[in-house]
A and B are shown apart, each in its own frame.
Chain A
């Protein structure tokens, strides 16, 4: 029983009352961290278990997108790559695709997480935030694989990271937090209105163009303000600044806008999730 004591140090009295389940929510979330770990582990394991090509799947999509965007933005639209080695447009694209893939995988994973775990929700108690949080793991693993792809391409072009790369984790976390914020909204809404399942791919389809993934934000000065409203613009610019260095600047206005809009997304996402969470088991 010593192990049990470690989880519940005091034989606590749990009081359940209408509308009062919120009391120990965050403490409970901490207690259920092992479940968080196991659900994340399950998702990763299941994802790579059946796919014969395994990690290759995580690479195919960004490679194809990189080639397409290089062709469309670099060759057709003649967008400038900036102070990069000649013909290094693919490097610009992959540095933008890295955070975009991280965001879109985390966002769509989190959005579908509650419905795909409905059998758990209706049978066991745990703080429901565990489910969307654990769904981020698969996105992180895929991200690590694409990061390897980036390293290979950067080495090919002879572009080595500068000291700024130490800030990369900040932008990785920002991408995940934003994805979680948007994912919390969508997953809670999907529990009640299944229509929202169809909205996610649509949003991502628009998002990949409304975000400077295939081009540099500073080449569109007229659209800069609007682009900054997109929290991911700051993340992508941050990635390029941290990874590529050179003439990639961090625009302070973009950073502030991105931070504020991203924070609003996360805070409102948590608020909406928490306020609907208690009815999940009844409606799912």
Chain B
């Protein structure tokens, strides 16, 4: 392995078993054994294998900050667990050069009965720091966490914000050669989050440390990681410059060409009646900022969506609805065309529907759009996963700190529906 490679992963696979008859208790195990004796032919352990990771290979250079992205279940956590030596790979080889510290959770091992001071030492030891090292950084940790006055109070009396600040502060003062971080960034209140981000930035930038960062927050990935590893269903879907991989992740599976999305081939859910068919949608933001991917829209921008819809026959009380969801599935905003443009009856044909959002007041981060068409008969067409956008900070935005509270704050003003045939 050449000297400037810090992490080398080769053909890594991890298999879990699913659907095995549960043998978690001794009784189950005995029952299982007894069944085997009575009827040895029927093998009940038709274990379904599940590959959490399959043949994953990549290398990370010394001093590189690599982002790891992927949907839930893509294998990110399994990868981190194997790299952190918590669980063993099923196949493949990893070599790690240098001391590794992993932060898969904030405050691992904190004990509620112990004081803040005691927990600093305990948590530090759990994360791999020596006693002398913790003592040396103790003051810096306390100052960073802003808990000076409560050092000798048991942490069970801490507010959740104080608890998390202290936990992050200990972790942030680790100085390993290789740091593995799972989405623990966004903790505490907005001001502390900014401080955390800054700290991670300086950890990543300083001392040629190698950092692996798993996150769903595309803005922070893009900000911190020049290169990104994209996982999908346990395999490497891409490894390259951050912007391209994030685009691949957000628009990826439907090969978005700029801002037009073909909706014809999209999967339908909720068994619509099919009297109307969503054909396509085009995103038309008012102004396009430079340096942004086509899926990225600045906070507060004006956005127009233009849908092409085919009506296969005449429909009464035609209505179009849009729901905007966070990637976790919470609905942030929704709007219905009937609010300012009710249609009593529409003939068969191809229609253009324009929806203008006067100001895109969504919190920062990725959002998924669901679109549906209904009539007096019920749902005519529905796509729960039509396309995705990412809201990024705008230059004029006063609220760049409001990240990770997606869905909590969303305000879309002046929604304007226009329907033309």
Contact = CB atoms under 8 A, between A and B. Distances in A.
Given A50-B113, A123-B108, A4 B99 contact: yes
A247 interface: no
Interface in A182-239: 192-196
Contact of B26 (A12, A119, A193, A281): A193
B405 interface: no
B192 interface: no
Contact of A282 (B1, B16, B132): B16
B99 A124 contact: no
Contacts of B136: 3
Interface of A: 1, 3-4, 6-8, 11-19, 21, 34-35, 37-39, 41-42, 45-46, 49-50, 119-126, 192-196, 278-279, 281-282
Nearest to B127: A124
Contacts of B125: 34-35, 37-39
Choose among B96, B99, B111 the residue with the greatest number of A CB atoms under 10 Å from its CB: B99
A7 B130 contact: yes
A13 B150 CA distance: 41
24 contacts: A4-B130, A4-B175, A6-B132, A8-B99, A11-B98, A14-B96, A15-B94, A15-B95, A16-B89, A17-B94, A18-B90, A34-B130, A35-B126, A38-B122, A38-B131, A45-B114, A49-B113, A119-B108, A122-B86, A124-B126, A194-B24, A194-B25, A279-B88, A281-B86
Given A194-B25, A195-B27, A120 B126 contact: yes
A37 B109 CA distance: 14
B93 A42 contact: no
B163 to A, nearest CB: 15
A73 B84 CA distance: 55
B175 A193 contact: no
Choose among A3, A16, A192 the residue with the greatest number of B CB atoms under 10 Å from its CB: A16
A4 B95 contact: no
Interface of B: 1, 16, 24-27, 29, 81-100, 102, 104-105, 108-109, 111, 113-114, 118, 121-122, 125-128, 130-133, 136, 175-177
A14 B102 CA distance: 15
Contacts of A17: 89, 92-94
Contact of B121 (A38, A126, A282): A38
B14 to A, nearest CB: 9
A53 to B, nearest CB: 16
Given A6-B130, A18-B88, A11 B93 contact: no
Contact of B93 (A15, A41, A194, A281): A15
B206 to A, nearest CB: 12
Contacts of B1: 13
Contact of A196 (B26, B97, B102): B26
Contacts of A8: 99
Contacts of B176: 4
A34 B93 contact: no
Contact of B91 (A18, A46, A49, A119): A18
Nearest to A117: B109
A50 B128 CA distance: 28
B133 A123 contact: no
Contact of A13 (B16, B25, B97): B97
Given A18-B88, A281-B87, A124 B26 contact: no
Nearest to B112: A46
Contacts of B130: 3-4, 6-7, 34
Contacts of B109: 119-120, 124
B95 A19 contact: no
Contacts of B97: 11-14
A281 to B, nearest CB: 5
Given A124-B108, A282-B16, A16 B93 contact: yes
Nearest to A283: B24
Given A4-B175, A42-B111, A49-B113, A13 B86 contact: no
A124 B102 contact: yes
A41 B87 CA distance: 27
Contact of A125 (B24, B85, B98, B122): B85
Given A15-B94, A45-B118, A282 B87 contact: yes
A46 B111 CA distance: 9
A49 B81 CA distance: 34
A41 B26 CA distance: 34
